[in-house]
Structure 1
Amino acid sequence: MKPSAQFHTKLSVEQLDAVRWQLVALLAFYSAKYDSMTIVPAGTVTDFASVPRIPLAFWLFAGIGQAAAVIHDWLYGCGTVPRKVADDIFLEAMEACGVPTWRRIPMYWAVRAFGAGRYSKAG
């Protein structure tokens, strides 16, 4: 039986300023879909999910699934996996964080539709 997607560590951060946070311990997430582990090192700086400041979008999605957002931002910044894989892992991580389906599906489709400009290819 294949293990389920899960975080192996808890998100531990300290606030740097109004929008940036820094991991004080590594964050590890196992993707069951891709049978892979993503490890974000301590010291990584994040703004969590980059949600547009449009009032409705911000109200619906800001501050939700922060650990999943860190994993996704790390994968986008490294570019070591294809963008679709990073987005699929984000979807799994949101579920592991307890983000309800009605919130995680629109968040997934938002990164699929609008995330290309933030994705960095390795090499």
Structure 2
Amino acid sequence: MPDRITSGDGPKIGAAGSGPPTAHDIASRLLAFSHIRARVFEPYGLAVNDIAWQLLLALFIAQERGLRVTIYRLCEDVPVPKSVSVRWLRALRASGMIDYDDATFGLSAPVRLTPAAEDSLRDLIDA
């Protein structure tokens, strides 16, 4: 009987459990990861799509490196129009995942992950 696409404790590595991962293994991990990602961000009441995910990852990486990031700079890191990125940043802020003050600084406002979102991302990456 074939294995399920993913199991409760994650996909298996290689047919015999050893060797480099196959395309099947990588695809299984990506699928499992997307399910875990959905569960981790469910408490924020926001479906994290690829645009939101790229914004969150770029911000996480910048914070890990100790860099100050503005809305404008963050929007440049995502390959979609700035207007789309800004809409997603507003949704992420409304959900409590990021914090910034665009009323005062506009696109030059510094933006940060909230501590809870940073912890959620770290837990997800460590999963």
Q: How would you bin the TM-score normalised by the shorter chain?
A: 0.3 to 0.5
Normalised to the residue count of structure 2, the TM-score between the two structures is: 0.35
Normalised to the residue count of structure 1, the TM-score between the two structures is: 0.36
Query: Which structure shows the higher strand fraction?
Result: 1
